[in-house]
Amino acid sequence: MKPSEMKQIVNMLYNEWNLGKKEAKAKGKICAWIYLFEVLEETEKVVLEKENNKVIGMCGYAKWNSKKYILRKKFFKLLKIICINSPLIKDKKAIIKYSKDYDYTPVELENHFDGEISLLIVDENYRGKGIGKKMINKIFEYAKKDNMKNIEILTDESCNFKFYENCGCKKVFEKIIPNREPDILGNETSEKGYIYEKVL
């Protein structure tokens, strides 16, 4: 992925979610960069949707215990660590806690899936045009060719989680997340997180 494409994805992430910025007292788009590097650290395959060279969507999947792309994944892990230790992050413990709060797979499901959707995002100006469905269906095809039997999708109330049901996924778990993405009024309370399963 080109740096210019990563920058466009970071802009989408920054406009969509808090990603721990408030909790970590972070400046600028550093939390969006941390999140993107975390996604790329574990992602096996990425699908980008573009229009006139502008990235308008991204979807990817991670495969557990994969031995492919080890150097690339280590590189993005290093970039993530550098960003977390940046002076732009005032409360490093808070950004780590925020990330853990949104990784809520229960023990009984830890070995159930072959991998997960690492990210699905569509530019808000291009939604409702079938772009998300097109990308996720491509990812499902790639994952199936990669001998994966099922895939996990972690989502929550700040996302259009019903979208996954329309893509043939089944909700298998839900939990209360202690911190949440602020709503349009800036209110922050707990929210429900969901795990969906797609059988490939």
Q: How far apart are CA 18 and CA 189, in angstroms?
A: 14
pLDDT band at 196 (very low <50, low <70, confident <90, very high): very high
pLDDT recorded at residue 160:
77
Please state, in angstroms and as integers, the Cα–Cα distance from residue 143 to each residue in 11, 47, 136, 146, following that order.
Answer: 27, 12, 10, 5
Domain locations along the chain: 3-199
- pLDDT at site 111: 92
pLDDT at residue 188, rounded to an integer: 62
> Residue 117's pLDDT is what?
96
Q: How high is the pLDDT of residue 102?
A: 78
Return the percentage of the chain with pLDDT > 90, whole number. 76
User: What's the CATH class of domain 3-199?
Assistant: alpha beta
For residue 85, pLDDT over 60 is answered with yes
Is the pLDDT at 181 greater than 60? The verdict is no
pLDDT reported for residue 23: 87
Give mean pLDDT, residues 116-133. Answer: 95
User: In this predicted model, what pLDDT tens digit does every residue of 60-77 receive, in sequence order?
Assistant: 999 999 999 999 999 999
Q: Which of 13-27, 73-87, 102-116 is modeled with the greatest confidence?
A: 73-87
Q: What is the mean pLDDT of residues 102-116?
A: 91
What's the pLDDT score for residue 193?
86
Average pLDDT, stretch 149-177?
89
Check residue 186 and give its pLDDT.
Answer: 60
